[in-house]
Structures are given as structure tokens and as C-alpha cells.
Amino acid sequence: MTLSIPFDNSYARLPDSFYARLTPARVAAPELIAFNMPLAEELGISGTDDPLLAAIFGGNTLPEGADALAQIYAGHQFGGFSPQLGDGRALLLGEVIDRSGTRRDIQLKGSGPTPFSRRGDGRAALGPVLREYLLSEAMHALGVPTTRALAAVRTGEDVYRETILPGAVFTRVASSHIRVGTFQLFASRQQYPELQQLFEYTRDRHYPETKTPGELLAAVCQRQAALVAQWMSLGFIHGVMNTDNCTLSGETIDYGPCAFMDQYHPDTVYSSIDQHGRYAYQAQADIIVWNMAQLATAMVPLVQDQDAAVSEFTEIINAMPNLIRGEWLNRFGAKLGLAAPQPEDARLIADLLHMMQAGGSDFTNTFRALASGSARDEITDRESYDAWHARWQERIASEAAPEARMHAVNPAFIARNHRVEQMISAALEGDDSLFHHLCAVLSRPYEDQPDAEELRRPPLPSEVVQATFCGT
């Protein structure tokens, strides 16, 4: 049986200063954990059996038409600039045009060392691979623009982190892997012809409706503003919003130390390495502006009249907080059942959030309970809640079918971090059943699933875990 992937590799046609061409390193005993058949069909991939899929998506067999390469990029990590990062453990196999006509990257992550590995081994551990698979598919099911998960394969080899862990390879699908850091690389090296080529490539691939660098920048800012507001409306904390983890496409990328918040608090941080809360839940709205300012800075050399570029780009960046506020209002307004939220509704939303914060309410369950009338049970200050509830009822009295609207945006099921950790612990013992169960439940997050009710429960104090970089 053969596997056919209809590759059409445009990035590989860019100059070789954009990447290093190489083949994946072999693994000892590839074993398929998961293959995302609906996504494969979307991509036009056909002809599949498990050993062949394991060989291809473990990196042992290069599929016909692939042109594997590690992409180069730079990036600000926790605010400090790294002039050269690049795929240190990932390889772009190539691109396909999917059924809807969109170009999509297929990339192996954990496929061995590359010229950009620095001191890393080029590998990924099983836990983070399963976490990325589950989280990215859960985000997709929630309606969030995101990279997708095509496959996860055990390698049969160990990786050495704080402890010895089983290795795995993850196959990621993305509408591209162009990062703010990709622009920063060429700008910081003053490779202006490449910067121009990258700009044209990005524009043609993602924003064909734009012409100038300023128009492209504004379009990216719009998508990123929408993305961050959507994350926040779901209680999602990305955890590592470095500029190399910030895409031009507006998709969420790199599910490292990320998590959905359980108890609502705006300062919530999950990542153990984010010691100053740079990427805390609430800080995400400011950080995305900072990241876009880095993109703007990198794009200035694209414009001949640089003073004009600086003032145009500054205006675009300065407009972002308002954009985010607007997106936030729409998202949170919908969570309260409002079809057309107004600026004055921000007070109503904020007052609910304050009550949730004061009592440590569960973010997801409180919003889900609004439509069924049981949100009062989630709030400790009942008197304040009753007063708020009366204001809210008055506001939505004229809304048609607010319950349906609320159910469509307030999920019942999110990937709770303690469940993700339990899933990883089981997989480390060779039991993948919880992984598959979570994938199935989280593929329908807005539906009531009485059989899976236990997965809605917030963690007990003993179950709370911090997301960490441990064992990436």
C-alpha cells in the first residue's frame, strides 16, 4: 500500500537563505499513536495503513514529493532578542493545497537535529507531543484559528530531559509557519532582498487583498487582535507568546506551557518559567501589541520613505488596543447572550468577572451555567450576583434566543490541565485510552455530553498542576 500526499512546495522555491534542506533522522521503532483521518481527507491524503503512516510520520520514510527543510527565523524570547533560532527539531515536509483551495504546511516536529538545533537534541518527548495534539485539536473544535494535528508517532527511543522519557514525533499542519521572527531574522541581518521576498510571499499566500507593507501589517494586527480576544474569551493562556511563536497567518502556534484557566483570575500564569507573569492571562492583550510592534519594526526597511513608514506603522500599532477591546467586547458580549454588544456592556461583563475573581469561580463552568440559570451556584457573593443578574436580565430581555447564542460560545468542555496531565501519565505507562477519549469529547466542546460529565469538573486542590517546559 502506498500513501499519496499531493505536495506542491512553494517555500522550497524561495532562496536557500530561508531554510536548510535536510532529511528527517531515522527512529528505532515507529509506532502510530494517532492519525487524524478527517484532516487527512481535507488535505487530499489517501491510501493509509498504520505501519506506513508510522514510517512516514515518524520520519523514517520520506513521502514522494516531499522536499524537507528546516526554516530559519529569529525571535524575542521573554523580551530578549535571539538573532537566530530556526527549526531546531522540526522539518517542513512540504505543502499541499487542501480541498478548499488553501495552501497548508505539513511539518514534522521532533524529527531530529538540524543546523538550528543549538544544544538541543532535535527530539520531542511523548508528553508534549500528546499535549500539542490534543490542545490544537481542542482549539480547532472550539473555533479558534490554530495549527492542526495530523499524526503522533512513538519513536521507540528515549529522550533525555530532567528524566529519561519516551520520544515521539508530532505532525503539524499549518496554513504556514511564517512567524514574526521570520521577518525579524532578515531585518536584523539587513538582508533586505530576502525581507522583500518574504513580504511578497506572505502577502500572496495570506493576504492577497493587500498591497503595501502597511496594509499587510494592519491585516495581521486585525487577525492577531481577534485571536487574542478569542483566547481570552475561552480562558486560554498561551504561556509563551514569544515573537517566534506569533504567526503572520493569525493561527495559534506552539502548544508548550499553555493551559485553560480553571478558577478565574486575570493574573493567572501556568508556565513555571514565566516568573514575572509576562504571559499571564490578562497580559496577553498587551503582549500581542508588543509583538506586532516588533513586526512593524522589522517591516520598516520594506518602505523607501522610512519616516513615512514609521508614522504609518505607529498609527497601526497604536490602534491595536482599541481593536482588541472591540473584539473582546464582541466575544464576551456573546458569552452573555448579546447579539450586538455595546461599549456600555463592558461594565456588565467586568462586574461579572469581578465577582468570579473574588470567589475564585470556575471560568468555563460559570459562563456555561448562565444559559441554564445555574450560574448563581458558581458565585460566592450571592447578593451581588442577584443584583447583577437583574441588570443582565434587563439587558437581554429584548434579545432573541440568547440561550442558543450562549451555548454556541460558552463551551461545556475544555482541555483541563489536570486531565491533560493524567492523560500524559497514562500514556507514559503505555495506556493511550484517555488520550483518545479526551480527543473525542473535546471534538464537541459546545455539546452537552452527559457520559463525560466528570470531565467538566474543576481540579481538586490535589490535582492542580502547573504547565511546565519539563520534557519538551
Ligand X SMILES: Nc1ncnc2c1ncn2[C@@H]1O[C@H](COP(=O)(O)OP(=O)(O)OP(=O)(O)O)[C@@H](O)[C@H]1O
86 belongs to the binding site for ligand X (CB under 6 A): yes
85 belongs to the binding site for ligand X (CB under 6 A): yes
Query: How far, in Å, are 24, 91, 128, 300, 425 from residue 111 at the CA level?
Result: 5, 7, 14, 35, 23
Query: Is residue 109 marked as binding?
Result: yes
Query: Is residue 307 marked as binding?
Result: no
Output 182 or 230, the one with its CB closest to ligand X.
182
Name the one range near ligand X by CB under 6 A: 22-30, 86-94, 227-235, 401-409: 86-94
Beta bridge partners of 151: 35, 171
Contacts to ligand X from residues 255-274, by CB under 6 A: 256
How many whole angstroms separate alpha carbon 111 and alpha carbon 106?
13
How many whole angstroms separate alpha carbon 102 and alpha carbon 240?
27
Question: Which one of 24, 94, 122, 301 is in contact with ligand X (CB under 6 A)?
Answer: 122
95 belongs to the binding site for ligand X (CB under 6 A): no
Grid cell, residue 53, equals 503512516
79 belongs to the binding site for ligand X (CB under 6 A): no
Query: Is residue 118 marked as binding?
Result: no
Query: Is residue 211 marked as binding?
Result: no
Residues 30, 55 contacting (CB under 8 angstroms): yes
User: Smallest distance from the beta carbon of 227 to ligand X, in angstroms?
Assistant: 16
Name the one range near ligand X by CB under 6 A: 252-260, 289-297, 343-351, 405-413: 252-260
**Phi/psi at 95 (5° precision):** -125, 155
104 belongs to the binding site for ligand X (CB under 6 A): no
Question: Which one of 98, 251, 254, 432 is in contact with ligand X (CB under 6 A)?
Answer: 254
**Phi/psi at 233 (5° precision):** -70, -15
Query: What DSSP designation does 422 have?
Result: H
27 belongs to the binding site for ligand X (CB under 6 A): no
**394, containing H or E segment:** helix 382-396
Residues 386, 402 contacting (CB under 8 angstroms): no
**148, containing H or E segment:** strand 148-160
Per the annotation, binding residues for ATP are 86, 88-89, 109, 121-122, 172, 179, 254
Per the annotation, binding residues for Mg(2+) are 245, 254
* Residues in contact with ligand X by the rule CB under 6 A: 85-90, 117, 120-123, 245, 253-254, 256, 472
